[in-house]
Amino acid sequence: MPHAIKRLFCIGLLSFTPLIHAAEYLSGPADYIYSPIVEEGEREIDTKFGTQSPRNGDTTRQSGASIGFGYGVNSWWFTEIYGKAIWDGNTSQFDAVEWENKFQLTETGKYPVDIGFLIELERPQNRNEGYEAKYGFLLQSEWKKWQANLNLLMQGHYTGTENQGTYFGYQGQLKYRLQPEFEVGAQIYSWLGQVNSWNTDQQQQSSVGPAIFGKTKLGRKEAIKYNVAYLWGTTAASPRNTIRMQAEYEF
């Protein structure tokens, strides 16, 4: 019970910051699927890269990448700091600093669904965007060699002059755990519109496609984890296609 109180205290403290929201919604090319499971003591250098092709006839791909350091503080709190960059055919720029916090709310495997909570705070380089916050429930379930994830997320900017609104979206993933080095599955990323003003089906941003995953041990307590996905946009407002990948060095 004391652990539960500590978790609620941390969540409450971090939740207090983004009381006022207003934001552009953005399904970034380097987005990834969050897992509610926290591994105590895990340290990782986390790199992500993504590139997407716009649908409006523009052939210039939009790309993003990030590098971060994450640490499993205890059995229920994982925290990570990122730096993010974006570029298109002509320009590149440092985009933002991000602080991700993940709280595992249930004991691993105790219930049919493992539940976590995410709070992510971002300081965009463009100060007109103010600060960005993303938060929501992370759900994971497993059955035999299958693992399924569903994350229900809210995202918004506050204190800025651009991108008003709070947006709702979800992420989903289905994975078959074939062997440690190679697993197969599928991912979906979707932003549905502002909480108080839903987009029409075609205005929503949604991308879905196959993914592969794996982990290779390099030595004692050292490993490389990766996942790669190719996603097709399923609505007129979505990128035509997205290639996204993540590689983590755990030590």
Partner 1 sequence: MKNHLLSLLFAAPTLFIGTLSYASPTATEIYISIKKGRFSPSEIEIPAETKVKLTIENFDDTPEEFESYDLNREVLINPGSKASFYIGPLSAGNYKFEGEFSPETAQGIVRVK
In the complex, the smallest distance separating the C-beta of residue 9 from partner 1, rounded to whole angstroms, is 17
Q: How many other CB atoms are found less than 10 A from the CB of residue 128?
A: 10
Of 85, 97, 121, 139, which lies in the binding site for partner 1, with binding defined by CB under 8 A?
139
- Is residue 167 within 8 Å of 195, Cβ to Cβ? yes
In the complex, the smallest distance separating the C-beta of residue 120 from partner 1, rounded to whole angstroms, is 17
176 forms part of the interface with partner 1 (CB under 8 A): no
Nearer to partner 1, 2 or 110 (CB): 110
106 forms part of the interface with partner 1 (CB under 8 A): yes
**54 phi, psi to nearest 5 deg:** -65, 160
Nearer to partner 1, 225 or 240 (CB): 225
Nearer to partner 1, 109 or 210 (CB): 109
- Is residue 46 within 8 Å of 82, Cβ to Cβ? yes
69 forms part of the interface with partner 1 (CB under 8 A): no
Residues 6+ apart with CB under 8 A from 135: 15, 18, 117, 118, 119, 120, 153, 154
136 forms part of the interface with partner 1 (CB under 8 A): yes
In the complex, the smallest distance separating the C-beta of residue 111 from partner 1, rounded to whole angstroms, is 5
Closest CA relative to residue 49, chosen from 62, 58, 59: 62
Of 73, 105, 208, 243, which lies in the binding site for partner 1, with binding defined by CB under 8 A?
105
Residue entry with tokens 């990766």? 226
Tokens of 25: 């919604």
* DSSP one-letter code for 128: G
**Angle at 238 (CA atoms; ends 97, 204), nearest 5 degrees:** 95
- Within 80-99, the residues that bind partner 1 by CB under 8 A are none
- Within 178-207, the residues that bind partner 1 by CB under 8 A are 180, 192, 198, 201
The residue ranges that bind partner 1 (CB under 8 A) are 39-42, 72, 75, 105-113, 115, 136-137, 139, 142, 144, 147, 152, 168, 170, 177, 180, 192, 198, 201, 220-221
